[in-house]
Amino acid sequence: MTTVEFAPLKSTITGSVFGPRDPEYDDARSIWNGQIDHRPAVIARCRSASDVAVALAFARAHSLEVSVRGGGHSYRGTSVCEGGVMIDLSAINVVSVAPSAKRARVGGGATIADLDKATQEHGLAVTGGVISDTGVGGLTLGGGMGWLTRTLGLAIDNLVSAEVVLADGSIVRASENDHSDLFWALRGGGGNFGVVTEFEYRLSEIGPEVHLGLFFWGMEDGPAALRLCREVVPALPRNAGAMVAVSLSAPPAPFVPDQFHLLPGYALLVAGFGSEEEHSNAIAPIREGLPTLFEFVTPIPYVGLQSMLDESEPWGAYAYEKALDLVDFSDDVIDVLTEQAGKKSSPMSFMPIFPLQGAFTSVGGDDTAFGGSRTPHYVCNMTATATDAGTLELDRSWVRETWEALRPFSSNQGGYVNFMTDVDEDRVRASYGAGKYARLSAVKAKYDPDNVFHLNANILPA
């Protein structure tokens, strides 16, 4: 591992600095994915944009690799570099809400839990993910989908501005009026263009109580369940979010009958953001369409909805994922999903499928840098999660085999950049398409010509 004299960094930064000999080092370099064991030469836990600029200058002066850690919920582990400077934003996690203006300024190291806690005090929210310890930064820069996508669009569709530390250390505020080319690229282009130390979001009235419907079918009912999803999900009202889960193991929760605990099957989850009556009407076709093994319909705090899947991806789990876009649950797609559903090894592995519909489609395809069409479609994520390396390896093969089988039916084989564990230039180009990639590449050449920020779904400078 590279040895660096980091005393000069320690004396010029207001945050903490850790090296391999410091007792805090191992904890500071650990992230959500337990199989990642990278060892930076130095970790700079920054407390401001100025600290980030100092850390970048230090990295340049010593010709060191740079990685940026927000929430640390990374499959690829790119937030922790090997032998370089890890810029840790976890201390920049303050969320400031202006209720009357319906705006929130969110530190680049904040998590979805931090964001939701602050905004829900005022009955406000913005689209986040489905795991609450996910970092706001990584989620947003790739697009940001979650329960509110059908209602509010992606996180980037609600982004008003961003404070960015560029590769040369300068600090800018990007918005529609300032550095508009950079602002366009930040909304979907990933962490390619700088270190975002603050996001400003437009908020909407959501919660604090919402409604949840969870419907679960056994493996033998898979084809019928997916055909039902094909009918009912696109017809849901705009104030409802949904997730289709293939090969989901029923949780050992109080609302699940004991005989079904950890039983793999198919689930449809519907979140309602209107009244109880509206949610009841929305889920009526599901109840009438196919008998379930069990269902769970209940009011739930919005923060509870946002964190209810946390246990399915516990901190320290071994994980791997791939994804691609599907226009619909065609008969061919259903055949592949049902054939592959029973082949996983870990009860934690499953396929969450996210419908991108409703408000998502009201934004033009070129208005943001989001990789993929703005027409209605599904992002099919295949997630291998296990508590040991051997089981992960089995389910890594399951994920790859499933992905290959679905490729002929995919509308975008590059898939969502936030769901790329295996990143290569061809997949990144495929995700964005030739025209959008060329535009991103030109922005990259302007703001990061030396490709300092490349530990991501990398866009090469033109």
What is the pLDDT at residue 423? 83
Model pLDDT for residues 97-111, shown as the tens digit of each residue: 999 999 999 999 999
Q: What CATH code is assigned to 7-88?
A: 3.30.43.10
The CATH number, out of the four listed (3.60.20.30, 2.60.40.4070, 3.40.462.20, 3.40.1190.20), of the domain defined by the range 209-419: 3.40.462.20
**Contact call for residues 371 and 188 (beta carbons, < 8 A):** yes
pLDDT tens, residue by residue, 45-100: 999 999 999 999 999 999 999 999 999 998 999 999 999 999 999 999 999 999 99
- pTM > 0.85: yes
At the second CATH level, the architecture of 95-206+437-447 is 2-Layer Sandwich (3.30)
pLDDT above 70 (res 237): yes
User: CATH 3.30.465.10 occupies which residues in the chain?
Assistant: 95-206+437-447
Question: How confident is the model over 261-298, as pLDDT tens digits?
Answer: 999 999 999 999 999 999 999 999 999 999 999 999 99
DSSP letter string over 102-168?
A: TEEEEETT-BHHHHHHHHHTTTEE----SSTTSBHHHHHHH---STTHHHH--GGGGEEEEEEE-TT
| Position 2 pLDDT exceeds 70 | no
Cα 254 versus chain centre, distance: 28
pLDDT in tens, 175-223: 999 999 999 999 999 999 999 999 999 999 999 999 999 999 999 999 9
Q: Are the beta carbons of 213 and 283 closer than 8 angstroms?
A: yes
What digits encode the pLDDT tens for the residues 138-186?
Answer: 999 999 999 999 999 999 999 999 999 999 999 999 999 999 999 999 9
Domain with CATH 3.30.43.10 in the chain: 7-88
330-345 pLDDT per residue, tens: 999 999 999 999 999 9
Task: Let me know: does 167 contact 182? Beta carbons within 8 Å.
Answer: no
Helices (H) and strands (E) in the chain, counts: 14, 19
What pLDDT, on the 0 to 100 scale, is given for residue 1? 58
Where are the domain boundaries for CATH 3.40.462.20 in the chain? 209-419
Q: Is the pLDDT of residue 112 over 90?
A: yes
The Cα 418–Cα 415 span in angstroms is 9
Average pLDDT value for the chain:
96
In sequence order, which residues have a C-beta less than 8 Å from that of residue 94 and are 6 or more positions away? 107, 110
The pLDDT tens digits for 421-458 are 988 889 999 999 999 999 999 999 999 999 999 999 99
